[in-house]
Structure 1
Amino acid sequence: MSLAPYVQILARGQGRARGFTRDEAAAAMTAMLAADAAPEAVGAILMLLRMKGETADEIAGFAAAARNALPDWTGPRPALDWPSYAAGRTRGLPWFLLSARLVADAGVPVLLHGWNAHQGHGADLRAALPVIGLRAADSIRTAGAALGSDGIAYLPLEILSPPLRALLGLRDTLGLRSCINTVCRMLNPGTAPAAVQGVFHPPYRELQADAGRLLGLDRLTVLKGGGGEFEHHPAKNIETFGLRDGHRWSGLTGLSIGGHRRLSEGPRDPALLGQVWRGERHDPFAEAVVLSTAALALDTAGLPDADLLARDLWTARARTIAA
């Protein structure tokens, strides 16, 4: 299928160019994921959209088509979708992995998916997975099995969708971020009813909330987090956007600790996560990151008294986890 008609929609010229409708976006994404997609046209579409600025209809259309192109999900349905696609230089150790583990321990099945180990900035998320008893799944089937047995799974994008991974990798060729970063965050491969999403640029918070509503999400929290991850800085009262019962919602994270430490500061050795988890090392700031992030995720999943529950889960956590 030729992409030329979709390039023409975006690039006809002043007064004639326009954005995609949701259906046009879905059709364009289907064509871009095809093996015979012309790379010149793909690059043109992505950069024209970047210059124009994406709409919620476009992101929803792209994400729906990308999800429809995935293999069928097998295994239990996740209750919480947790995308992880940050590549920013401000990303430090992935403390949010410990938060996700706590959420799973609360009986909320969590599906993590992403692509971020290759960036070379910040700590390697995948090297930290064994700390919470995880290995990167090598198929959708094994991800579903892990979700069923452990309540949590991590599915790499290159396993989930090699064509989408290739589109995301065009950032290295084009030198700029594209809407594919946002599409991946909206992918929700297990069709969970709730999701948490991180952003680096604040305007994307409302964009992703609106796209989530169009995609039928019931509950969503979008946070400007560390390096673009869903990870809360506990010394900052950050405005959040999203959905509650399918309706637009916003709130504030509140403060849980003082100080001015940055999330990216400190050691980058993933072993530190395990030491804090096992209680071998006491780091009040790191623990505050874990607990405040977990509380936001628990609230998103619809659990009451999320702050208290996060603290109780931390106190009762199993100190030893087998990968």
Structure 2
Amino acid sequence: MSDTLSAVTADSHALFTAVLERLAKRESLSATQAEEAFGVIMDGAVSSERIAAFLMALRVRGETPDELLGAVTALRQRMNAVPDLPDNTVDVCGTGGDNYGTLNVSTAVAFVLAALGIPVAKHGNRAVSSLSGASDVLGALGVPLLADAASLHSQMQSHRAIFLAAPNHHPAMRHAAQARKALGLPTLFNLVGPLVNPAGVRRQLVGVFSPSWLRPVVDVLGRLGSERVWAVCGLPRIGHGGIDEMTLAGPTQVEALEDGRAYSFTVEPEMAGLAYAPVSAIQGGNAQHNAQALNELLRGAHGAYRDTVLLNAACALHVAGRISLLHEGRLDPHALKNGVAEAARSLDNGAALAVLDGLRAAGSAARPER
């Protein structure tokens, strides 16, 4: 047994060394080669130092769509899946890595969608490049982050929303955690996260930190069987690059996959009847700060945070198939405004808050008395 294990370890070391040598020569990896490289990382056969070298070599040379596909395939093969959810389940998730440190937008959108009866399997993680990731803010809100499939199915049936914390479903990711933390920079793992939803959703609104990755993200998801995807990148007029959500601070570039066809277009906040607001208007903080802001939002607070959530929620309604925003690849501003109004009603009538309260109550009931 030990001889077999030693042979496997030696093979993994040799494979990864060959990969590093290719990257040192600025050569790209095929999807199969990338899948093998990320596979041995996820299997714990590579040191943190070599993982960091690998990730930086990819970043410096520039990652390719095939390398992204290989990474996603490797991680999907090793995840703890949550099968058999409703076919129209959606995810709203961002890559992170934009370093704007905003309030939690996609998490808030999940409550809005669930309040409108749309099943949501929100994938997320703790903060890597921001102060408060989805898991951080949900913990501060008292929302349970369940792991077993039976409990998640029950939660979906009762509240139309489940939150899939990456560590619960991607334990293999722990092998890369030290290297990612040491680098402190966006890497290919930021892009992989939204593409490995454990529920296997086929409808997604994906926020991406760089417009250069919009089409590759859509193409990879299309190759893996997704039905409808909007990959979005906000381009603030004042800022230091793209933001991984639809924004009020400037145009949002969109790459969409619908009915097997790809579309490219831009969304301006005024097309949704919303006013411009700089990114600083939704500046976030730690988990407690962001949780308080989200709680106030669900209780009726107005402002840039609400409007940003409404813009993203309206587009997510289209991804979910509730409304139709595109006609022959062109965005219909009138339909977008109606989508914003529909999302707003779920905040104004307390339905979105009721989803949060229901999840909190379920979490409290599940905790044993002390």
2:298 to 271, 277, 288: 277
1:262 to 279, 284, 293: 279
Residue 124 of structure 2 is matched in structure 1 by 114
Matched, 1:234 2:248: yes
Residue 33 of structure 2 is matched in structure 1 by 24
Contact kept in structure 1, 2:315 and 2:336, CA below 8 Å? yes
Contact kept in structure 2, 1:29 and 1:65, CA below 8 Å? yes
1:19 to partner: Cα distance:
1.7
1:60 to 69, 80, 100: 69
1:243 to 250, 257, 265: 257
Contact kept in structure 2, 1:235 and 1:258, CA below 8 Å? no
Distance 1:7 1:198, change over 3 A: farther
1:291 to 298, 301, 310: 310
Distance 1:23 1:145, change over 3 A: farther
1:46 to partner: Cα distance:
2.0
2 CA distance for matches of 1:131 and 1:277? 15
Distance 1:211 1:265, change over 3 A: same
Gaps of 5+ in 1: none
Q: Which string of whole-angstrom CA distances, capped at 9 and with x for unpartnered residues, describes residues 64-101 of structure 1?
A: 12111112424524621233452554122213323222
1:141 to partner: Cα distance:
4.3
Q: Partner of 2:27: helix, strand, or coil? A: coil
2 CA distance for matches of 1:163 and 1:228? 29
1:263 to partner: Cα distance:
4.8
2 CA distance for matches of 1:125 and 1:202? 22
Distance 1:176 1:11, change over 3 A: farther
Contact kept in structure 2, 1:205 and 1:222, CA below 8 Å? yes
Distance 1:19 1:89, change over 3 A: closer
Residue 189 of structure 2 is matched in structure 1 by 180
Matched, 1:189 2:198: yes
1:5 to 7, 12, 15: 15
1 CA distance for matches of 2:184 and 2:108? 32
2 CA distance for matches of 1:317 and 1:38? 49
Distance 1:229 1:99, change over 3 A: farther
Gaps of 5+ in 2: 1-10, 324-334, 361-370
Distance 1:271 1:138, change over 3 A: same
1:112 to partner: Cα distance:
1.2
Distance 1:168 1:80, change over 3 A: farther
Contact kept in structure 1, 2:109 and 2:313, CA below 8 Å? yes
* Deviation larger for 194-203 or 312-321: 312-321
Q: How many residues align?
A: 319
Distance 1:176 1:313, change over 3 A: closer
Matched, 1:134 2:143: yes
TM, length-normalised to structure 1: 0.85
Residue 83 of structure 1 is matched in structure 2 by 93
Contact kept in structure 2, 1:29 and 1:62, CA below 8 Å? yes
Q: Which string of whole-angstrom CA distances, capped at 9 and with x for unpartnered residues, describes residues 33-77 of structure 1?
A: 113334444333322222221221221121012111112424524
Residue 332 of structure 2 is matched in structure 1 by none
The structure with the greater share of residues assigned to helix is 2
Matched, 1:219 2:249: no
State the AA in 1 paired with 2:232: L
Matched, 1:102 2:112: yes
1:292 to partner: Cα distance:
0.6
Contact kept in structure 1, 2:125 and 2:167, CA below 8 Å? yes
Matched, 1:308 2:338: yes
Contact kept in structure 2, 1:200 and 1:224, CA below 8 Å? yes
Distance 1:210 1:181, change over 3 A: same
Structure ID, larger Rg: 2
2 CA distance for matches of 1:230 and 1:201? 8
1 CA distance for matches of 2:33 and 2:23? 18
